Amino acid sequence: MFEMLLIEGLAIGACYGLFGVAVAIIYKTSDEMGMMSTFVAYQIMTVYGWPFYIAFPATLIFAIGLGMAIEFCFLRPAKEPTVLGLLILTLGAEMLLMGLAGWKWGAEQKDFPFLLSVHDTIEIFPGFALNEWTIGVFVLTTVVMVLLFLFFRYSKLGIAMRATQQNENAAKIMGIKVERVFSITWGMSSLIGALAAMFFAARSVLDPNFMMEPFMRAFAAAVLGGLTSIPGVVIGGLILGIIENFFGYAWCRCGDNDRRSVDLGRSP
Protein backbone atom coordinates (compact mmCIF):
# COMPACT_ATOMS: atom_id res chain seq x y z
CA MET A 1 0.00 0.00 0.00
CA PHE A 2 2.78 2.45 0.90
CA GLU A 3 4.56 1.86 -2.40
CA MET A 4 1.40 2.41 -4.45
CA LEU A 5 0.50 5.59 -2.56
CA LEU A 6 4.03 6.87 -3.09
CA ILE A 7 4.07 6.10 -6.83
CA GLU A 8 0.60 7.54 -7.37
CA GLY A 9 1.61 10.66 -5.45
CA LEU A 10 4.76 11.00 -7.54
CA ALA A 11 2.73 10.60 -10.74
CA ILE A 12 0.17 13.27 -9.93
CA GLY A 13 3.00 15.41 -8.52
CA ALA A 14 4.89 15.07 -11.80
CA CYS A 15 1.79 16.33 -13.59
CA TYR A 16 1.57 19.27 -11.17
CA GLY A 17 5.25 19.94 -11.76
CA LEU A 18 4.85 19.79 -15.53
CA PHE A 19 2.01 22.28 -15.43
CA GLY A 20 3.94 24.33 -12.89
CA VAL A 21 6.70 24.72 -15.47
CA ALA A 22 4.17 26.31 -17.84
CA VAL A 23 3.05 28.60 -15.02
CA ALA A 24 6.63 29.51 -14.09
CA ILE A 25 7.56 30.45 -17.65
CA ILE A 26 4.99 33.26 -17.91
CA TYR A 27 3.28 33.38 -14.44
CA LYS A 28 -0.08 33.82 -16.16
CA THR A 29 -3.01 32.15 -18.01
CA SER A 30 -1.52 28.72 -18.71
CA ASP A 31 -4.55 26.97 -17.20
CA GLU A 32 -7.12 28.38 -19.61
CA MET A 33 -4.84 27.98 -22.62
CA GLY A 34 -4.41 24.33 -21.64
CA MET A 35 -8.16 23.98 -21.15
CA MET A 36 -8.92 25.44 -24.58
CA SER A 37 -6.32 23.24 -26.28
CA THR A 38 -7.78 20.15 -24.60
CA PHE A 39 -11.26 21.05 -25.82
CA VAL A 40 -9.86 21.43 -29.34
CA ALA A 41 -8.36 17.93 -29.06
CA TYR A 42 -11.74 16.65 -27.83
CA GLN A 43 -13.51 18.32 -30.76
CA ILE A 44 -11.30 16.95 -33.51
CA MET A 45 -11.30 13.43 -32.05
CA THR A 46 -14.99 13.06 -31.18
CA VAL A 47 -16.65 15.26 -33.82
CA TYR A 48 -14.28 15.03 -36.78
CA GLY A 49 -13.11 11.51 -36.00
CA TRP A 50 -9.37 12.14 -36.16
CA PRO A 51 -7.24 9.42 -34.56
CA PHE A 52 -5.26 10.38 -31.47
CA TYR A 53 -1.87 10.18 -33.16
CA ILE A 54 -2.98 12.92 -35.57
CA ALA A 55 -5.10 14.94 -33.14
CA PHE A 56 -2.30 15.10 -30.56
CA PRO A 57 0.31 16.94 -32.68
CA ALA A 58 -2.42 19.09 -34.25
CA THR A 59 -3.49 20.17 -30.77
CA LEU A 60 0.08 21.03 -29.82
CA ILE A 61 0.39 23.21 -32.93
CA PHE A 62 -2.87 24.92 -31.99
CA ALA A 63 -1.59 25.46 -28.44
CA ILE A 64 1.55 27.19 -29.68
CA GLY A 65 -0.50 29.43 -31.96
CA LEU A 66 -2.95 30.22 -29.15
CA GLY A 67 -0.19 31.30 -26.79
CA MET A 68 1.39 33.51 -29.43
CA ALA A 69 -1.99 35.00 -30.37
CA ILE A 70 -2.78 35.94 -26.77
CA GLU A 71 0.61 37.58 -26.38
CA PHE A 72 0.16 39.48 -29.65
CA CYS A 73 -3.44 40.60 -29.06
CA PHE A 74 -3.42 41.30 -25.32
CA LEU A 75 0.13 41.87 -24.08
CA ARG A 76 1.99 43.46 -26.97
CA PRO A 77 -0.36 46.44 -27.48
CA ALA A 78 0.18 47.42 -23.82
CA LYS A 79 3.44 49.33 -23.81
CA GLU A 80 5.30 48.76 -20.52
CA PRO A 81 2.18 47.92 -18.47
CA THR A 82 2.20 48.03 -14.68
CA VAL A 83 1.88 44.82 -12.69
CA LEU A 84 -1.79 45.59 -12.05
CA GLY A 85 -2.39 46.35 -15.71
CA LEU A 86 -0.73 43.10 -16.74
CA LEU A 87 -2.88 41.21 -14.25
CA ILE A 88 -6.05 42.78 -15.64
CA LEU A 89 -5.04 41.97 -19.23
CA THR A 90 -4.31 38.32 -18.52
CA LEU A 91 -7.46 37.99 -16.40
CA GLY A 92 -9.46 39.34 -19.32
CA ALA A 93 -7.84 36.81 -21.66
CA GLU A 94 -8.64 34.04 -19.19
CA MET A 95 -12.29 35.05 -18.92
CA LEU A 96 -12.52 35.25 -22.71
CA LEU A 97 -11.21 31.71 -23.14
CA MET A 98 -13.54 30.36 -20.44
CA GLY A 99 -16.49 32.09 -22.07
CA LEU A 100 -15.62 30.74 -25.51
CA ALA A 101 -15.27 27.20 -24.15
CA GLY A 102 -18.59 27.42 -22.31
CA TRP A 103 -20.34 28.83 -25.39
CA LYS A 104 -18.94 26.22 -27.77
CA TRP A 105 -18.94 23.05 -25.66
CA GLY A 106 -21.27 23.84 -22.76
CA ALA A 107 -20.76 23.39 -19.03
CA GLU A 108 -21.58 19.68 -18.83
CA GLN A 109 -18.76 17.29 -17.97
CA LYS A 110 -17.28 15.15 -20.73
CA ASP A 111 -14.96 12.15 -20.88
CA PHE A 112 -11.72 12.92 -22.69
CA PRO A 113 -10.68 10.11 -25.10
CA PHE A 114 -7.03 9.84 -24.13
CA LEU A 115 -4.63 7.26 -25.52
CA LEU A 116 -3.30 6.18 -22.11
CA SER A 117 -5.70 4.56 -19.66
CA VAL A 118 -5.75 5.03 -15.90
CA HIS A 119 -7.15 1.50 -15.55
CA ASP A 120 -5.03 -0.63 -17.89
CA THR A 121 -1.75 -1.64 -16.27
CA ILE A 122 1.64 -2.70 -17.56
CA GLU A 123 3.79 -5.08 -15.53
CA ILE A 124 7.17 -3.46 -14.98
CA PHE A 125 8.63 -6.51 -13.28
CA PRO A 126 7.04 -9.55 -11.58
CA GLY A 127 4.60 -8.44 -8.92
CA PHE A 128 4.83 -4.73 -9.78
CA ALA A 129 2.61 -2.99 -12.34
CA LEU A 130 1.76 0.61 -13.17
CA ASN A 131 -1.14 1.99 -15.16
CA GLU A 132 -0.49 3.52 -18.57
CA TRP A 133 -1.30 7.04 -17.41
CA THR A 134 1.30 6.93 -14.64
CA ILE A 135 4.01 5.65 -16.97
CA GLY A 136 3.10 8.30 -19.53
CA VAL A 137 3.35 11.12 -16.96
CA PHE A 138 6.79 10.00 -15.80
CA VAL A 139 8.07 9.66 -19.36
CA LEU A 140 6.59 12.97 -20.52
CA THR A 141 7.89 14.95 -17.54
CA THR A 142 11.37 13.49 -17.96
CA VAL A 143 11.46 14.23 -21.69
CA VAL A 144 10.20 17.80 -21.22
CA MET A 145 12.75 18.46 -18.47
CA VAL A 146 15.65 17.18 -20.58
CA LEU A 147 14.54 19.15 -23.65
CA LEU A 148 14.11 22.34 -21.63
CA PHE A 149 17.54 21.91 -20.06
CA LEU A 150 19.17 21.49 -23.47
CA PHE A 151 17.14 24.34 -24.95
CA PHE A 152 17.94 26.91 -22.27
CA ARG A 153 21.55 25.79 -21.90
CA TYR A 154 22.75 25.45 -25.48
CA SER A 155 20.37 27.09 -27.98
CA LYS A 156 20.70 30.75 -28.96
CA LEU A 157 16.98 31.29 -28.49
CA GLY A 158 17.04 29.72 -25.03
CA ILE A 159 19.96 31.91 -23.97
CA ALA A 160 18.11 34.95 -25.37
CA MET A 161 15.04 34.02 -23.32
CA ARG A 162 17.15 33.74 -20.17
CA ALA A 163 18.77 37.09 -20.87
CA THR A 164 15.41 38.76 -21.45
CA GLN A 165 14.04 37.32 -18.22
CA GLN A 166 17.00 38.63 -16.24
CA ASN A 167 17.11 42.15 -17.73
CA GLU A 168 14.80 43.17 -20.55
CA ASN A 169 16.46 46.53 -21.22
CA ALA A 170 19.94 45.03 -21.37
CA ALA A 171 18.65 42.35 -23.74
CA LYS A 172 17.34 45.05 -26.08
CA ILE A 173 20.71 46.82 -26.01
CA MET A 174 22.43 43.54 -26.91
CA GLY A 175 20.25 43.27 -30.01
CA ILE A 176 17.84 40.60 -28.79
CA LYS A 177 14.39 40.88 -30.36
CA VAL A 178 12.45 40.97 -27.11
CA GLU A 179 9.00 40.91 -28.72
CA ARG A 180 9.93 37.75 -30.61
CA VAL A 181 11.22 36.20 -27.40
CA PHE A 182 7.98 37.02 -25.57
CA SER A 183 5.91 35.52 -28.38
CA ILE A 184 7.88 32.26 -28.37
CA THR A 185 7.78 32.14 -24.58
CA TRP A 186 3.99 32.32 -24.56
CA GLY A 187 3.79 29.68 -27.26
CA MET A 188 6.10 27.39 -25.28
CA SER A 189 4.12 27.88 -22.07
CA SER A 190 0.86 27.16 -23.88
CA LEU A 191 2.37 24.00 -25.39
CA ILE A 192 3.51 22.63 -22.02
CA GLY A 193 0.20 23.64 -20.45
CA ALA A 194 -1.69 21.74 -23.16
CA LEU A 195 0.36 18.60 -22.52
CA ALA A 196 -0.38 18.74 -18.80
CA ALA A 197 -4.06 19.61 -19.35
CA MET A 198 -4.66 16.57 -21.56
CA PHE A 199 -3.19 14.32 -18.88
CA PHE A 200 -5.36 15.96 -16.21
CA ALA A 201 -8.47 15.57 -18.40
CA ALA A 202 -7.72 11.87 -18.88
CA ARG A 203 -7.66 11.42 -15.10
CA SER A 204 -10.77 13.48 -14.32
CA VAL A 205 -13.43 15.04 -16.57
CA LEU A 206 -13.46 17.78 -19.17
CA ASP A 207 -15.38 21.02 -18.61
CA PRO A 208 -14.53 24.74 -18.84
CA ASN A 209 -13.43 24.83 -15.19
CA PHE A 210 -11.51 21.58 -14.96
CA MET A 211 -8.07 23.25 -14.89
CA MET A 212 -8.77 25.66 -12.03
CA GLU A 213 -7.87 23.22 -9.25
CA PRO A 214 -4.75 21.85 -11.01
CA PHE A 215 -3.66 25.45 -11.66
CA MET A 216 -3.79 26.28 -7.95
CA ARG A 217 -1.76 23.20 -7.10
CA ALA A 218 0.70 23.83 -9.92
CA PHE A 219 1.14 27.42 -8.77
CA ALA A 220 1.75 26.17 -5.24
CA ALA A 221 4.33 23.74 -6.62
CA ALA A 222 5.99 26.58 -8.52
CA VAL A 223 6.16 28.72 -5.38
CA LEU A 224 7.40 25.79 -3.31
CA GLY A 225 10.15 24.93 -5.76
CA GLY A 226 11.03 28.49 -6.74
CA LEU A 227 9.46 30.35 -9.64
CA THR A 228 12.83 30.91 -11.30
CA SER A 229 13.97 27.28 -11.15
CA ILE A 230 12.37 24.80 -13.54
CA PRO A 231 13.85 21.72 -11.78
CA GLY A 232 12.73 23.23 -8.48
CA VAL A 233 9.19 23.58 -9.80
CA VAL A 234 9.06 19.90 -10.75
CA ILE A 235 10.51 18.88 -7.37
CA GLY A 236 7.91 21.08 -5.68
CA GLY A 237 5.19 19.34 -7.67
CA LEU A 238 6.47 15.91 -6.65
CA ILE A 239 6.51 16.91 -2.98
CA LEU A 240 3.01 18.37 -3.23
CA GLY A 241 1.68 15.27 -4.98
CA ILE A 242 3.10 12.94 -2.32
CA ILE A 243 1.70 15.06 0.53
CA GLU A 244 -1.70 15.30 -1.13
CA ASN A 245 -1.95 11.58 -1.81
CA PHE A 246 -0.89 10.43 1.65
CA PHE A 247 -2.97 13.08 3.40
CA GLY A 248 -6.03 12.19 1.32
CA TYR A 249 -5.61 8.50 2.16
CA ALA A 250 -5.21 9.25 5.88
CA TRP A 251 -8.23 11.55 5.81
CA CYS A 252 -10.39 8.85 4.20
CA ARG A 253 -9.22 6.30 6.77
CA CYS A 254 -10.09 8.67 9.62
CA GLY A 255 -13.50 9.32 8.09
CA ASP A 256 -14.19 5.58 7.79
CA ASN A 257 -13.20 5.03 11.43
CA ASP A 258 -15.47 7.87 12.57
CA ARG A 259 -18.41 6.45 10.60
CA ARG A 260 -17.84 3.00 12.08
CA SER A 261 -17.74 4.51 15.57
CA VAL A 262 -21.05 6.29 14.96
CA ASP A 263 -22.63 3.10 13.61
CA LEU A 264 -21.46 1.13 16.67
CA GLY A 265 -22.84 3.81 18.96
CA ARG A 266 -26.23 3.55 17.30
CA SER A 267 -26.33 -0.24 17.49
CA PRO A 268 -28.80 -1.56 20.09
Mean pLDDT per 10-residue section of the chain, whose length is 268 residues: 80 90 74 91 94 94 94 81 73 86 91 87 78 91 92 90 85 87 91 93 90 87 82 90 81 53 42
- All domains of the chain, ordered by start, with CATH? 2-266 (1.10.3470)
Q: What is the pLDDT of residue 194?
A: 93
Residue 234 burial (CB count, 10 A): 26
Q: Which DSSP category does 131 fall into?
A: E
d(CA 157, CA 231): 20
- pTM equals 0.86
d(CA 138, CA 125): 17
What CA–CA distances, in Å, run from 150 to 64, 154, 157, 158? 20, 6, 11, 9
